[in-house]
A and B are shown apart, each in its own frame.
Chain A
């Protein structure tokens, strides 16, 4: 990190530390200070680190971002935001340029003991629930450290035992401000037997670069269920760094979907630990990029205790001179007997200049397990292409149809029909020739 960059961050932290939400909480002040110190030590991760070998973050380390959004007229975007959130989303939380906008958010009445709201609200109302999750562990890379130091808003979901929320909570992070760095922190604590479904959507309209560096911590208690769906459709010049950390207790079920379509450079890291017996994790993902976009997914599934199940399926479609990275680790610890794990990553390259680095990894330290993994990289197959054309379908549409057929496998794993149709629209909008496929079902 250059001296001027370091000084820029120091200055920002100095001036902001006293103004960030939750400054009245001593443990939070301490955690932020500690995180900033870690950032000074770690700096931005370089490509010499194995975990960052294929993703060079220098383009986003250089700019002197600002950290406080200007007070915009959010009403300008109200219409756009209504379009972005599916009509069936009974509950929605909207963040514009990193800040919660209550006027654009709405929630149905919540069951007794449940909390859903912004981080700033949670710091006032349930600070005691946040400490364990916000000051849980030392940041392990520069982005986590930066997030720890500057986190000020985000969403929080806390559900008491047995509490089932049947509507999907839609959380929209909408960015419109150039050169702004946003560090949201989100916490989801779902207690014994409770369940919920959350959609995190990131959308941007700025032509200039901005940085989203977001972290989500999720605790899925005994027999609880969480479905977490990310839709990353940042603006074309944006940078997006995300970390999702999950703790799974006994017989819990965590489902993750990660759809990455936007941004100049994006990296999503999803780590889940199956800390007790009989837990299940399903990780589904799709990246679909073109031009010079860079998209990176790192996942890690730790099977720590017996009889855990994990299913991971990631697909990628890479066009133009885009670059994809998939790094998936499944670690079966010594005590995790009778683990059943499957991991797969399939990639479709639509151009000669597109590139993918895929690295599925399986580390097994137990002896009674069933684990498989595999990765494929290929191009559109000529045989089905000719078959479709021989039926009168023109080449552009035939190609679009085959790419869609490949990508929809990931979309079809999403349970909500409304969300699937949203995702379908977004995919078709990005797909060359996708306009031909509208209206066909």
Chain B
């Protein structure tokens, strides 16, 4: 489904990704781990089409097409979804308005008729219940005044409504308490499907206790330095990122070790 070859990306003339290779097949769940500043979020944003990042080399094939040639909205209509680490607040655009506009844009793209109001509402309410979110959040501005946890749930809600083919979750676990983490994990697990791929970008192993990945990759200094099974994530948990550095390069020694508990707080 997704084939990344020798991807090089710069932000403000500073190289962030340096020759990244990754292949993701339909039906697989991949976890991309790595210390802060290793390029995890950059990878997710480049795939979603953020213009701020400049691709200086390499290629990305998605379903047989050149992904990098597509506008961000075109990518989304073709089934790519990014759950943001820091979802933006958009006062004046209600959550339900966004969901409806986004879903209809994708349906039109697929040549399907727009969902009628009743069917749409039924779908959204079902997914909302799955996410254990209150109904009034639908009628508020997108993420407006949402708590950190509500924002993350809202990202996953959008994902479950839009049912994308390639789901990328950027640090969705950060800032979530254990109950919310379980709700999010359950929703993601429900989306596991032979026709869908899921890429989890995370600093910590915690999320992977609930969503067990098929493949784990460690990103460091803009490259995948290690790939393995979920066993690799557990290894990282006990040893931190530092032990990889010893094998790779000295620069990695600065990688943050896995903390005893908790996650990044917003």
**A residues within 8 Å of B by Cβ?**
382-384, 386-395, 397-398, 401-402, 404-406, 408-409, 440-441
Contact = CB atoms under 8 A, between A and B. Distances in A.
B84 interface: yes
Interface in B82-111: 82, 84, 87-93, 97-98, 100-102, 105-106, 109
B48 A390 contact: yes
B28 to A, nearest CB: 22
Interface string B35-64: 000000000000011111000000000000
B88 A387 contact: yes
A392 B87 contact: no
23 contacts: A382-B51, A386-B51, A387-B84, A389-B71, A389-B72, A390-B73, A390-B75, A390-B82, A391-B73, A391-B76, A391-B98, A392-B102, A392-B109, A394-B105, A395-B71, A397-B101, A402-B93, A404-B92, A405-B90, A405-B91, A408-B92, A440-B97, A440-B100
B91 A388 contact: no
Contacts of B109: 392
B107 to A, nearest CB: 10
A392 B106 contact: yes
Interface string B207-230: 000000000000000000000000
Nearest to B82: A390
B77 interface: yes
B8 interface: no
Nearest to B141: A405
B158 interface: yes
A394 B74 CA distance: 8
A405 B93 contact: yes
Contacts of A389: 49, 71-73, 76
A414 to B, nearest CB: 15
B117 to A, nearest CB: 9
A247 to B, nearest CB: 35
Nearest to B103: A392
B197 interface: no
A421 to B, nearest CB: 16
Contact of B102 (A382, A391, A402, A405): A391
A393 B50 contact: no
A253 B158 CA distance: 44
A371 B88 CA distance: 31
Nearest to B75: A390
Nearest to B84: A387
B92 A392 contact: no
B73 A394 contact: yes
Interface in B158-181: 158, 162
A384 B143 CA distance: 11
Contacts of B100: 440
Given A397-B101, A404-B92, A406-B92, 20 more contacts: A384-B88, A386-B51, A386-B72, A387-B87, A389-B49, A389-B72, A390-B49, A390-B82, A391-B76, A391-B105, A391-B162, A392-B76, A392-B77, A392-B162, A398-B73, A401-B101, A402-B90, A405-B141, A409-B91, A440-B101
A383 B143 CA distance: 13
Contacts of A397: 101, 105
A394 B72 CA distance: 8
A409 B71 contact: no
Given A393-B101, A393-B102, A401-B101, A384 B73 contact: no
Contacts of B106: 392
A401 B88 contact: no
Contact of A383 (B82, B88, B93, B98): B88
B71 A388 contact: no
Nearest to B48: A390
A382 B72 CA distance: 13
B141 to A, nearest CB: 8
B73 A405 contact: no
B102 to A, nearest CB: 4
Nearest to B105: A392
A316 to B, nearest CB: 15
Nearest to B101: A393
A390 B98 CA distance: 11
A402 B75 CA distance: 21
A389 B45 CA distance: 12
Contacts of B92: 404-406, 408-409
B90 A386 contact: no
Across the A-B interface, give the 6 residue pairs with the lowest CB-CB distance, nearest first. Answer: A405-B92, A392-B76, A391-B102, A389-B73, A392-B105, A389-B72
Contacts of B50: 386
Nearest to B114: A439
Contacts of B101: 391, 393, 397, 401, 440
By CB atoms of chain B within 10 A, which of A382, A390, A394, A395 has the most? A390
A51 to B, nearest CB: 33
Contacts of B162: 391-392
A389 B98 CA distance: 11
A440 B75 CA distance: 23
A69 B90 CA distance: 49
Contacts of A441: 97
A23 to B, nearest CB: 52
Contacts of B98: 388, 391, 393
Contacts of B77: 392
Contacts of A393: 73, 76, 98, 101-102, 105
A401 to B, nearest CB: 6
A394 B82 CA distance: 16
B88 to A, nearest CB: 5
By CB atoms of chain A within 10 A, which of B87, B90, B162 has the most? B90
A441 B99 CA distance: 11
Nearest to B117: A441
Interface string B222-250: 00000000000000000000000000000
A382 B88 CA distance: 11
Contacts of A387: 84, 87-88, 90, 142
A395 B52 CA distance: 16
A373 B74 CA distance: 42
By CB atoms of chain B within 10 A, which of A383, A388, A404, A405 has the most? A388
